[in-house]
């Protein structure tokens, strides 16, 4: 079996932080005068959430959901399991799903439908990374950090088999 390794840096920590500052300003403008619940999709989006929430000037609360569709593979299985649900009700609340990456869209589409059934006042999506060419279902983020090519990326919270999350840059994973 071949070993995985970091092939190249796709996005530097400086590029990421600059874009997150811009996203925070945009979200703050759109939610001016409102309270916002940020719903972080664990585990990959936790670093993005921490940096993003510090750039949002409106009052925010946070909650977490853990869903799984990858396991130890580099391709989504398409089977979504909720591993951890929200601790609070989202009924009549303005909610923003904070996602690390949208790939096939299968997981996020399931999550969006599940959360919409709980009758939030509004539900939008912010993602750090988007791979639109991999999309299998109709879903688009309301806020997007970067569109990236169809390469498997790690770092800044994104992993392969729970490894590489702590890399400060977003990197392409290759084979040795």
CA torsion 25-105-103-133 (nearest 10°) is -100
Q: Scanning the structure block, which residue is given the tokens 């909650």?
A: 63
pLDDT at residue 81, as a whole number: 83
pLDDT of 78 > 70? The answer is no
**Arch. (CATH architecture) of 13-150:** 3-Layer(aba) Sandwich (3.40)
Partners of 68 in the β-ladder: 81
Who's near 32: CB < 8 A, 6+ residues apart? Answer: 58
pLDDT of 76 > 60? The answer is no
43 contacts 68 by C-beta, under 8 angstroms? no
Who's near 63: CB < 8 A, 6+ residues apart? Answer: 37, 38, 39, 40, 86, 87, 88
Q: What is the DSSP letter of 153?
A: E
Least confident range of 63-67, 72-76, 94-98: 72-76
Higher local confidence (pLDDT), 7 or 53: 53
127 contacts 109 by C-beta, under 8 angstroms? no
What is the chain's length? 176
pLDDT at residue 150, as a whole number: 93
pLDDT of 3 > 70? The answer is no
Q: Which of 103, 130, 150, 169 is catalytic?
A: 103
Q: List the one residue out of 125, 120, 129 whose CA is nearest residue 154.
A: 129
pLDDT of 87 > 70? The answer is yes
From CA 45, how far away is CA 110, in angstroms rounded?
Answer: 17
| Residue 79 pLDDT class (50, 70, 90 cuts) | confident
Cα atoms found within 13 Å of the Cα of residue 36, Cβ hemisphere only: 25
pLDDT at residue 75, as a whole number: 55
pLDDT digits (tens, 9 = 90+) for 115-167: 999 999 999 999 999 999 989 999 999 999 999 999 999 999 999 988 999 99
From CA 33, how far away is CA 155, in angstroms rounded?
Answer: 34
* Mean pLDDT (whole number) for 66-95: 80
Annotated active-site residue 103? The verdict is yes
């Amino acid at each position: 079996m071949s070993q995985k390794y970091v092939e190249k840096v796709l996005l530097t920590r400086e590029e990421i932080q600059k874009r997150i500052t811009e996203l925070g300003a945009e979200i703050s403008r759109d939610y001016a005068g409102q309270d916002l619940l940020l719903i972080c999709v664990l585990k990959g989006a936790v670093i993005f959430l921490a940096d993003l929430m510090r750039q949002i000037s409106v009052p925010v609360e946070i909650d977490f959901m853990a869903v799984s569709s990858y396991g130890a593979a580099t391709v989504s299985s398409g089977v979504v399991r909720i591993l951890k649900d929200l601790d609070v009700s989202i009924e009549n609340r303005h909610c923003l799903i904070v996602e690390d990456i949208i790939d096939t869209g299968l997981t996020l589409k399931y999550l969006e439908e599940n959360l919409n059934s709980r009758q939030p006042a509004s539900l939008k999506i912010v993602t750090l990374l988007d791979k639109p060419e991999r999309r299998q279902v109709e879903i688009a983020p309301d806020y997007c950090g970067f569109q990236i090519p169809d390469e498997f990326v790690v770092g800044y919270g994104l992993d392969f088999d729970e490894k590489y999350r702590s890399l400060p840059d977003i990197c392409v994973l290759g084979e040795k």
